[in-house]
Structure 1
């Protein structure tokens, strides 16, 4: 008998480009999961909310709690409006929240957007806080998406997400492996913002620039890039290393964008092992997949044995929201949704707090 779930997935990424909402249906049929993306939207944040989220790491404890509740309330209100607009009744909401701290070396990862406030204002059950159990079990609490890559996008050899942070997942010797490869849109959007643009449309500014060798060397220098997995990046590391190198460079904005694209592509090349003798199929999603120049550099760096595919815009934009909805389904069913082979935890685990409504 087929089993189906209607779920709303929520994703707020480190690039602060808005709240992704995806209404999805998941059907378990003949021992396989089938997904459908039914309705979607991205809500652009106000400047005030962007400032609050960007500055949250320096907020007082009281201010942080207030923002956690306020952001949960905001997401709940947006979900309630989305549900009313589309005339739907999902089984529950699954929310990643918005990451403020991610310091796995200190066993810390904090995502704002309290699930209880989200549930109260969405008037729906909520699954949230997917990372904490894994961290308590000694893991990085990240990346979380790989089990969704394996079960929903298993036809690809590699799944690459070009979000605020770029990461890759793939199966090797019977295990799913995944890790963050470099900062991505956090760098590209910051540079575009500096010249009054929300982002570098199709990588046009990057394409117009030239390589800045000293900046490229500085971006590639940190030891993180040679560290073995499991490993993951947080905003704090990116501010201290990648963004600091960019700020210290005298290159033009166009040259910086050009060079950052080369940095991202080079780190992906370094991260992807050759899994077999045949053609390798690579799925590219996340906002960076709309950057034509970056995609060209990735294909060029990987070479002819790798077919880089950018799927339909809906999958590019909403894959993370889709997969967090799916992680919620696995949590709802009491099945593992976080892999120790990816995070380094002592065992696979079932992450997520449930708030019933």
Structure 2
């Protein structure tokens, strides 16, 4: 394919419900892929949308489909406002992950809302989206999807670690890329902070004032998921069933829950960072939890690298843009070594605006 430069809007909404991440970036192929982010911003969710999105796992399929349509319309208005605000004129297509409603890959189920035809129709732009479904149909976990971007855009680092709703990691092992969800992070921390009418624990200050409950820590560290070999991935359903009931049973103060959970996350993440003196690139909202980063440094012997805010906050949106580019080129964007699918493949659904 002769085309080597693409101007893309990448869109991502994560399980931590921070908001919708949007980037406008140029991707250029010159022996290897490089990129330039022109504009990037996060559109915070309203309280109403946060409530809706946090309860998706409890909805019937009929209710989910109705929410899906409304969310696709909402996403279109958000993307349109982003385009108008930054006066963006050259767009090859929009690459959108949508928002995960259901993720039960072992049962062959994954559902991202926000990928309906109306998205392309309102925007009058081509959209490449719904990157998980094909992988699950091929027997894979449908996640994580970012590792192909780690390999192509950030291969200077031994480990690429993202601290979002979940901590996920990506690295080369022998001749293959390995990646998986390590443990929950912000999806749990933000849940308990919300009980104090806060969106997040600023710099981990609340957690730092709490005490570790050794019994709870031991029980969390003993969850069977941590013994499983990759490929593996986590979803909100898993947290609801396997983690919240354990934490609630201890009836601890919020600060002590946060402190114990930060310790748990730091222990689980550090257990993966086995190549001492190597570099780990850390991105995602968890980077701003200074206390969590300090605990990671305490338990591991790697060099933690934190780049500029654009990469910290928008790396996933950037990589979903690249996934769209690879799909457009009919090149592999989903690795079987990562997801456990039957084969490497080029995943994503194409939406063409109707006249």
1:217-263 residue CA offsets vs partner (Å, 9 max, x unmatched)? 12112111010011011111111122222222222111111111111
Partners in 2 of 1:110 and 1:243 — Cα distance?
A: 23
Once residues 81 and 251 of structure 1 are traced to their aligned partners in structure 2, the CA distance between those partners, rounded to angstroms, is 43
Q: CA deviation at 1:60?
A: 2.6
Matched, 1:162 2:163: yes
- Give, in whole Å, the separation in 2 of the partners of 1:46 and 1:21: 17
Name whichever of 211-220 and 162-171 sits farther off: 211-220
| Farther-moved stretch of structure 1 (235-244 vs 151-160) | 235-244
Q: How many residue pairs end up in the alignment? A: 351
Q: Which residue of 1 aligns with 2:52?
A: 52
Corresponding residue of 2:68? 68
Structure 1 length as normaliser, TM-score? 0.96
- 1:215/1:70 Cα in 2 relative to 1: closer, same or farther (>3 Å)? same
Q: Which residue does the alignment assign to 2:238? A: 237
**Residue deviations 1:129-158 (CA, integer Å, cap 9, x gap):** 101111111111111000000100000000
- Contact 1:115-1:128 at 8 Å conserved across structures: no
Task: Report what 1:128 is aligned to.
Answer: 129
Q: Secondary structure at the match of 1:354?
A: strand
Structure 2 segments unaligned to the other structure (5+ residues):
none
Give 2:34's aligned residue: 34
Instruction: Work out whether 1:6 is the aligned partner of 2:7.
Output: yes
User: Any residues of structure 2 matched to 1:175-324 within 5 Å, and which?
Assistant: 175-274=176-275, 279-303=277-301, 306-324=302-320
Contact 1:22 1:38 in 2 (8 A): yes
Q: How does 1:136-155 map to 2 (within 5 A)?
A: 136-155=137-156
Residue 115 of structure 1 contacts residue 127 of structure 1 at CA under 8 Å; is this kept in 2?
Answer: no
The answer to whether the 8 A contact 2:97-2:112 is kept is yes
Whether 1:118 and 2:119 are equivalent positions in the alignment is yes
**Equivalent pair of 2:56/2:102 in contact (CA under 8 Å):** no
SS at match of 2:155: coil
More off after superposition, 64-73 vs 243-252: 243-252
TM-score, normalised on structure 2?
0.96
Aligned-partner SS, 2:42: strand
Q: SS at the partner of 1:149?
A: helix
Conserved in 2, the CA contact under 8 Å of 1:183 and 1:242? no
**Distance (whole Å) between structure 1 residues aligned to residue 292 and residue 243 of structure 2:** 17
Task: Tell me the distance in 2 between the aligned counterparts of 1:244 and 1:100.
Answer: 21
For 2:240 and 2:199, the matched residues in 1 are separated by 19
Deviation of 1:273 after TM superposition, in Å, equals: 3.3
Deviation, 1:7, is 0.7
Q: Secondary structure at the match of 2:257?
A: helix
Task: Tell me the distance in 1 between the aligned counterparts of 2:183 and 2:262.
Answer: 11
Separation of aligned partners in 1, 2:101 and 2:3: 39
> Matched residues in 2 for 1:346 and 1:185: separation?
31
Aligned-residue Cα RMSD (Å) equals 1.3
Return the offset for 1:2: 7.7
Runs of 4+ in 1 over 4 A off after TM superposition: none
User: Does the 8 A contact of 2:22 with 2:317 survive in 1?
Assistant: yes
C-alpha distance in 2 between matches for 1:253 and 1:237? 21
Gaps of 5+ in 1: none
Matches of 1:248 and 1:16 in 2, distance apart? 25
- Aligned residues of 2:57 and 2:237 also touching (Cα < 8 A): no
Q: Secondary structure at the match of 1:271?
A: coil
